[in-house]
């Protein structure tokens, strides 16, 4: 089983700052809008064909519709998605997310085109941690 972990570090007026890990490897910082943040828990990871992006996109199925993982700079760039970047937080802003999202998609999807076409990622789960939890490295026991 493969795990994507979202470790939430801090709540600001503009959003929730955190970090995304894939199989224990730090991928980059995240931002979420507080009002629509994913509930803590363990959720399936799926592919969703995004009309906005015109391609299948990694999504977390937390029972509230598709929560996409995509690049963006500020919480308001999201309707409820997890924004992923490559540079550290600076006033609830991240940048450089496109290459990081591409890396994550390649890591999660691999070369299995049949799985990609079907939108099924049976070997992946997403663990979303409480805000301010004590998980430092994205690894869960």
CA-CA distances (angstroms) from residue 119 to 15, 74, 86, 98? 29, 28, 26, 21
Predicted pLDDT of residue 10: 87
Give the number of residues written for the chain.
141
Average pLDDT, the chain: 81
pLDDT digits (tens, 9 = 90+) for 42-67: 999 988 877 877 777 888 988 887 88
What are residue 140's phi and psi, to 5 degrees? -115, 150
Q: Which residues contact 137 (CB under 8 A, 6 or more apart)?
A: 21, 24, 26
CA distance 80 to 34: 9
Six-digit token pair at 50? 């995004």
Write out pLDDT tens, residues 84-108.
987 766 656 677 788 888 888 888 8
pTM, to two decimals: 0.85
């Amino acid at each position: 089983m493969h795990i994507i972990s979202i470790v939430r570090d801090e709540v600001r007026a503009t959003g929730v700052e955190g970090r995304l890990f894939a199989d224990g490897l730090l991928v980059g910082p995240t931002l979420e809008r507080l009002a629509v943040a994913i509930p803590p828990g363990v959720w399936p990871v799926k592919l969703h064909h995004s009309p906005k992006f015109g391609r299948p996109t990694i999504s977390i199925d937390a029972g509230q519709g598709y929560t996409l993982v995509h690049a963006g700079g500020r919480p308001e760039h999201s309707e409820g998605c997890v924004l992923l970047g490559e540079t550290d937080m600076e006033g609830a802003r991240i940048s450089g997310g496109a290459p990081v999202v591409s890396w994550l998609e390649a890591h999660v999807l691999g070369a299995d085109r049949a799985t990609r076409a079907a939108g099924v990622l049976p070997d992946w789960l997403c663990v979303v941690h409480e805000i301010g939890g004590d998980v430092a490295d994205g690894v869960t026991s």
